[in-house]
Structure 1
C-alpha cells in the first residue's frame, strides 16, 4: 500500500523575519499571532503597545492578561538565549511592574532554562516566567508555519504549596478547593470558551470576568455553613444592579436556586447558595460541587446576555 506522505522541513527564522523588531515583533503583535502564543503559554494576552519605553530602553511587546489586567512583557530573540537578554527581561519586568514574563527565542541554552526555572521557584505565586522557543516548519512546498514550544514555565503546584505556608486550616482548605477548581475548569472546554479561571487563592470566592469592568460573576464557598454558591456582582453601576435584582425570578428559574438580593452603598446584585455541600474534610465531593458551579456560571452568563446587561 502506498501512502501519500511528505517530509517536515525546518525553516530558518531569519528567512521569514529578517529583522527582529521590524519583522518578528510586528508579526507577533498582530491579534491572531498573539493568540497563538497565548494558547501555548495558557494565558490569554492582549496587546497594549509594541516597543514600549522602559527608561532609555524599549520592551518588544507590552501586553496584559484578558480579564485580570495583569501586565505582561514579551521579549523576542531570534537567536540562542544570552545573558544580555536575560538581564533585559528582568529589567523590563521591573520597569513595567509585569507579573507575566515571556521570553520568545530561537533556542534556549541550558543555563538560561535553569535561570528561568530558578526565577519561577523563588518568586511569589502571582509571578510567572515563560521561556518559549519559536520554530518554522513546512511540508513539501507549503508555506512555513510557526510553532511555539514552552520549555520553561511556572510550576503551579509548587507555588500553591508555597502559598499555603503560614495559612490557617480554613484558608488552606479554600486554597485547595480553588486549586482543584482551576484544574477542573482548565479541562472543561465549554467553560474555557467563556471564562478564564483565576489562580487559586485563600479567599471564599473566585472571580470570573464578563468582558466588561461594570460587573463580574463570582463563585463562592462557605466552609462554615457547608454550602457552595454563585453571585452576580456589580461594584458601582446601580442601574445594572437593580435591573438584575428586578429579574431575580429569571435567575432563580435558570439556576434552580433561591436568590438573595444585595444593595449596599456601592455594590449591588444577586447571591445564590446551595446548602448541603460540606467543604471541609469532604475533598472527594469537590469535583461534583465544582462541576455544578461551572454549569451555574455558564447559565448565568446566558441570562446576563438575554437581559442585555
Structure 2
C-alpha cells in the first residue's frame, strides 16, 4: 500500500523570508520566482527596478508587461492587509503611472478585498488591480513549496474577449488559434520549462518573456501572408541589437537556421526573426505549426540569452 504524506501549511512566512524588503522582494524579483506570479495571473512580467523611488517612498517592484508598454507595480506585505499599504499602493500607482497593480500579502482582510474589487469596478478599463495571498506548504521534511492564490482580479477581462470576438470573425480566429496553441504547447515539457503560459487574446501576436525588460520573443499570426513568425524583439536598444549582430554566426549556428535581421533605423524596435508558412484555416495542420513554433522559440531563447 502506498503511504501518502500530509500536506501542511507554514503559517509564519517570516520563517522563510525574515525581512520583507531584504528577503522577500529580492526573492520575488528573481526570474524563476517571478514566473510563478506571472503564471498565476496570466501576465508576462519583466522587472525594471526593485525598491523604485516614488517621491519619498519606494515601491517594492517596478516592472513592465512583456511585449507591451504597460507598467506594473508590485507591493509586498508579509502580514495581513492594512489601510496603510492600500494607501501606499494607490500612491505608487499614481506616481509611476501604472496600468497594473499587484498586491501580494499574507492574508487579505475582507474590507481590503472589497476595496480592490471596488477599484477594479470603478477605474478606467485599462487599469487592473490584483490581490494575491502567498502560501507556503510542506510534506514532512520536504522542500518548502510556494503558491500564489488570486483573491481579487479584474472581472471584465474575459467579458472583453467575448465582446471582441463576437464582433469579428478575424478576432475570433486569432483567439481560437492562441487558445489551441496554449493547450498544445504547455503539455510539452521543454516548452513549459522555458516559458510561462500567456493569456490568449485577440491580438495577432503573443509575447513570451525571456527575463529582460528590453527583449522578448514574439509569436505572430500573419494571416494575409499565411505565415507564422517567431521573432526576437528588442524594444528600444540599438546597442544591444549590435551586440547580438556581432554574434550572428554563433547564434544562427546554435539555432541551426538562418535569421532575418532587421534593425529598423526609423523605429525604436529591432527584430530578428524566422518565418514559416502556416495554413491557419486547416486545423489538422495546427499541431505541425505549433511544433515548429515551439522548437524555434526554445532554440531562440537559449541562443540569444548567452549575449544578454
TM-score computed with the length of structure 1 as normaliser: 0.65
8 Å CA contact 1:13, 1:78 repeated in 2: yes
Alignment pair present for 1:273 and 2:276:
yes
State the secondary structure of the residue aligned to 1:73: strand
User: Closer, same or farther in 2 for the Cα pair 1:176/1:112, shift >3 Å?
Assistant: farther
User: Closer, same or farther in 2 for the Cα pair 1:221/1:29, shift >3 Å?
Assistant: same
Counterpart CA distance in 2 for 1:223 and 1:203 is 12
TM-score computed with the length of structure 2 as normaliser: 0.66
Aligned with 1:39 (options 27, 36, 40): 36
Larger radius of gyration: 1
Q: Residue 28 of structure 1: CA displacement?
A: 0.8
Q: How do 1:246-285 residues align onto structure 2 when only pairs under 5 Å count?
A: 254=256, 265=265, 269-275=272-278, 277-279=279-281, 282=282
What is the match of residue 30 of structure 1?
26
Q: How do 1:1-309 residues align onto structure 2 when only pairs under 5 Å count?
A: 8=8, 10-12=10-12, 23-31=19-27, 35-36=32-33, 38-42=35-39, 43-44=44-45, 46=47, 48-50=49-51, 52-59=52-59, 61-65=60-64, 67-68=66-67, 71-117=71-117, 119-120=119-120, 127-135=127-135, 148-154=148-154, 157-162=158-163, 164=164, 168-182=168-182, 184-196=184-196, 199-200=199-200, 202-208=202-208, 210=210, 217-231=217-231, 236=238, 237=241, 240=244, 244=248, 254=256, 265=265, 269-275=272-278, 277-279=279-281, 282=282, 286=286, 288-302=288-302
Q: CA RMSD in A?
A: 4.9
Q: Which protein has greater RCO, CA pairs closer than 8 Å, 6+ apart?
A: 2
User: Closer, same or farther in 2 for the Cα pair 1:216/1:103, shift >3 Å?
Assistant: closer
State the secondary structure of the residue aligned to 2:85: helix
8 Å CA contact 1:37, 1:148 repeated in 2: no
Q: Which ranges of structure 1 fall in alignment gaps of 5 or more residues?
A: none
Q: Residue 29 of structure 1: CA displacement?
A: 1.7
Number of residue-to-residue matches in the alignment = 294
Q: Residue 91 of structure 1: CA displacement?
A: 2.8
User: Closer, same or farther in 2 for the Cα pair 1:124/1:198, shift >3 Å?
Assistant: farther
User: Closer, same or farther in 2 for the Cα pair 1:38/1:303, shift >3 Å?
Assistant: closer
Q: Residue 89 of structure 1: CA displacement?
A: 2.0
Q: Which ranges of structure 2 fall in alignment gaps of 5 or more residues?
A: none
Per-residue CA deviation, residues 220-241 of structure 1 (Å, 9 max, x unaligned), is 3232343433345678446855
